[in-house]
Homo-oligomer: A and B are copies of this chain.
Amino acid sequence: MTIHVMTSPDWKLDIDDPDVELTTWDFESPAPDVPVDLLVAPHVTRPDIIDRVRDLGAKVLQLGSIGYDAVSRDLPEGLIVSNAATVHETATAEHALAMLLFAAREFDRSVAAQRRGVWEEFQTLGLADTTVLLVGVGGVGSAIAERLDPFEVSLIRVGSRAREDERGRVHATDELPELLPQADAVIVVVPHNENTHHLIDDAFLSAMRDDAILLNIARGKVADTEALIKHAGRLRLLLDVVDPEPLPEGHELFSTATLITAHNGGNADAMLERMKNVVLRQIAAMKNGEPPINQVLPQ
């Protein structure tokens, strides 16, 4: 039994299995005219991806992202869409810690002094003993919480609904007005959907302390860009994602945000090994006649 896999070059896939025929396609140019069972999409999911792959006859579309808000619900009959859960959590969570520590130790100031060729000593609040509010307790949120464990912070977690889990209390989103004023840093890492669209709005930002850190590592549209600009002087904004993306050259956020990292959050080598693992598991499922892993659509 031959499994036909067509993959984006993003993943540098190399599969050592005589039963697998591997073709590379960039999802931009016309697709190679070969049979395809499993499609492996780029690590950023383009909004028109379903139209791109509609006529290829694939059984499974393996997305390269965890989020699938960009995927049209107008699926071809029989196509199953899987997301890239387990692929990006590691890289994205470490990126979040990198951004948080950059702000906590005020490396923007160190970098500016270094550029001027000046030795500038200063004291920072630091991260230890501060209160971090984590909004989002899915895969990436959990990976962030795990990495925060040794840093001696008070962690408050917020999910879509109040509950207890193995780490303790998860607060509901409607508790944010009381929680936001307590935080030295707020990390937002929720999926983008109709409930989280513009979650970070004027009211959200107004509830935050002066000089507090806001880190958006979720999706650009989870924040209202106008509100971000309004509060940029009072708060410290660290944005891996923005709306629109790419941010137009010279956009006001470039000069007012503390750090912009151009959606590089998940884009580290760690994702390659972990995506290969997902693809191998999809292939094994096909061979064994089992349902695909990580299915997100049809729901």
Contacts and interface: CB of A to CB of B under 8 A. Distances in A.
A268 B97 CA distance: 17
B122 A246 contact: no
Contacts of A111: 108, 111, 259
A210 to B, nearest CB: 16
Indicate the member of A102, A248, A268 with the most B CB atoms within 10 Å. A268
Given A111-B111, A114-B257, A267 B123 contact: yes
A209 interface: no
A269 B129 contact: yes
Nearest to A260: B114
A282 interface: no
A268 B117 contact: no
Contacts of A117: 249-251, 254-255
Interface string A133-152: 00000000000001101111
A80 to B, nearest CB: 28
B269 A124 contact: yes
B245 A124 contact: no
A15 interface: no
B269 A126 contact: yes
A94 B127 contact: yes
Contacts of A28: none
A104 interface: yes
A69 to B, nearest CB: 19
Interface string A88-125: 00110011011001101101101101110111111111
Contact of A90 (B114, B147, B152): B152
A263 interface: yes
Contact of A129 (B102, B122, B270): B270
